Amino acid sequence: MMKMFNFTFVKICISLILFIVSFFLPSYFSLISLILSYVIISYEIYLEAYHNLKKKELFDENFLMIIATLGAFLIKNYEEAVMVMFLFEVGEYLADLAISKSKTSLLNILDLKKDTITRINNGKEEIIPIKDAKIKDIFIVKPGERIALDGIVIDGSSFVDTSNLTGESKAKKVEKNDLVLSGFINQTSLLKIEATTNVATSTSARIMKLLEEVDDTKSDTETLLTKFAKVYTPIVVFLALIIGIVFSIVTGDYNTWIYRALVFLVTSCPCALVISIPLAYFCGIGSASRKGIVIKGSRELDALCDVGYLFLDKTGTITKGNFVVSEVKAVDISKEELLRYAVSAEENSLHPIALAIKNYSKEKPLKVDNFLEISGQGISCQIKGKSVLLGNKKLMENERVEVDEVKEAGTIVYVSIDGEYKGYIIITDEIKKSAYNLVRLQKYFKDIIILSGDKIDVVKEVAKKLKLNTYYGELLPEDKLNYVKKYQQEAKCMFVGDGVNDALVMKASDVGVSMGIKGSDASIETSDIVLMNDNLDTLKNALDIAKATKKKVMQNIVFALGVKLVVLILAFLGISTIWMAVFADVGVTFLVIINVLFLFIKKH
């Protein structure tokens, strides 16, 4: 990339020197110097126009510049022909340089890679390639080093910089038994960590994959602009031909009207829009990444501006997903026996509720047969020849098991053995601090709605605490999908979730948002936006950045077209010169690029 910019810079310098030298040479040699200057600065534009012609894409800015400058040569305005092409190429160079610097800045912000790891093997330190590290390996991270793999701290206490991954500027303290993620930078003290992932499954690998998969799908604005350009450019060329040929024939003043036609062509080049609009979306995506928000494309960023309803999953999204058992009620069975069956049934499940039960009970699990995890309901299996059901009320109703009505707040896990109700376990979860700020987002949406598979009483209690009026509980994944589809008839919908069960509704939503740390691979892959710090406060950042980006895009469209329209009218009237036309093209391009780059600088 740097070699390309250096080559272009050298080419610009040589062309400029030849142009300046031409003023001090006799007329014949001056013309040769100008032609050489023109060829050096424009040959790549000719090549690109040729390639576009082969693809049947004739009417672009390259074609317009070639016609305009050849016309200038035809009427013997050699200096202006060279300078128009020169300034056009300088504008392209500065635009490419701006885009390159923005990309470099983004990559530096999201530089999560580490090539080696210091592993402890038989009490000795050894530096190995990160690709050779395995789950359960013990490795150390010294102050100033980047953590290579996700893991649990087994020794040491330190502050870590999480900004590359989460966008949080404040250092986070970690100590024994705390989870640390790859991409964090250790700041103060040595940490000994047990790896919970390998290089392929680490958080940093997942994020880098997301960045690589950021697609080039155009936003609605960009698509509209492309369609506009396909109509606009042929019309401009046709009008220029009328001005240059018809008026020349009518008046007999060929030089004047051909010159005005050339000014018309140079002015009409859509460079400002072609360059600045995609750059605006790119800078918006880059600005979001600095806040720990990965937006997968310009269409996704654009869609944020038009969302009418915000839907949120409860567990792991609004709440922390750190479940604990708050109560165990046994019916016609001992508490220990109930827990033994529950722990055994949950042994093969990775669901947060399963982990809470396993962490609570010290009972040794029994052998399980015919294990089946029923999405949105619970577990069915056989233990010691007995049919065991463990799940919510919906599961019990489907299996025709009568259960007690439990009034306590929390997630109720009912237990049935051989079709007989044997009690329940209450699981509670803590609401995220950032969830209490959701009410502040009301101004952005028609309504904020909770969709949960949890008991309606629990969902109601959470909604009450968050001051949200609309909520639905005891939902299966397809129920959530139906609610979103219903509201989509009125406005665009955004769904925020974290689990495998959320992938379906997330994909169907106009904007799907997943949690980056606790989110499942399925939800992250199907979502349009990933909140890397699992912090709901960053939703506001995403919305503000999207609206700021759209505002910049509209500003640039109005400014660029407005200036061009004025200069085009002046060109027809014979008032504007080719230099004014160059400003209307290159100068406006440069100004709108500067306007866009403020997106990357501004703090949202």
Distance between CA atoms of residues 213 and 199, nearest Å: 18
Q: Which of these, 259, 276, 315, lies nearest to 427 by C-alpha position?
A: 315
Query: Other C-beta atoms within 10 Å of 532: how many?
Result: 28
Contacts of 519 (CB under 8 A, 6+ apart): 316, 497, 498, 499, 527, 530, 534
Contacts of 327 (CB under 8 A, 6+ apart): 408, 410, 425, 426
Q: Which of these, 193, 116, 191, 121, lies nearest to 152 by C-alpha position?
A: 193
Distance between CA atoms of residues 105 and 69, nearest Å: 36
Distance between CA atoms of residues 471 and 483, nearest Å: 11
**Beta strands 411-417; 420-428: pairing state:** antiparallel
3-state secondary structure of 114: coil
Instruction: Find out whether 357 and 351 touch, Cβ atoms under 8 Å.
Output: no
Radius of gyration of the chain (CA): 32
What single letter denotes the amino acid at residue 186? N
Residue 349 φ/ψ region, left for φ over 0, alpha for ψ in the -120 to 50 degree band, beta for the rest: beta
111 is catalytic: no
Q: Which of 60, 161, 302, 313 is catalytic?
A: 313
Angle (nearest 5°) at CA 378 between 493 and 475: 25
Q: What are phi and psi of 73, to 5 degrees?
A: -65, -40
Distance between CA atoms of residues 407 and 393, nearest Å: 13
Structure letter (DSSP) for residue 603? -
Instruction: Find out whether 266 and 583 touch, Cβ atoms under 8 Å.
Output: no
Distance between CA atoms of residues 457 and 138, nearest Å: 44
3-state secondary structure of 285: helix
Instruction: Find out whether 193 and 141 touch, Cβ atoms under 8 Å.
Output: yes
**Measured CA distances, 581 to 88, 156, 263, 588 (Å):** 11, 66, 6, 10
Distance between CA atoms of residues 487 and 509, nearest Å: 10
Q: What is the DSSP string of 291-359?
A: TTEEE--HHHHHHGGGEEEEEEEIIIIIB----EEEEEEESSS-HHHHHHHHHHHHTT--SHHHHHHHH
3-state secondary structure of 167: coil
Structure letter (DSSP) for residue 529? E
515 burial level (CB within 10 Å; 0-12, 13-18, 19+) = buried
Q: What are phi and psi of 49, to 5 degrees?
A: -65, -40
Query: Which residues have a catalytic role annotated?
Result: 313
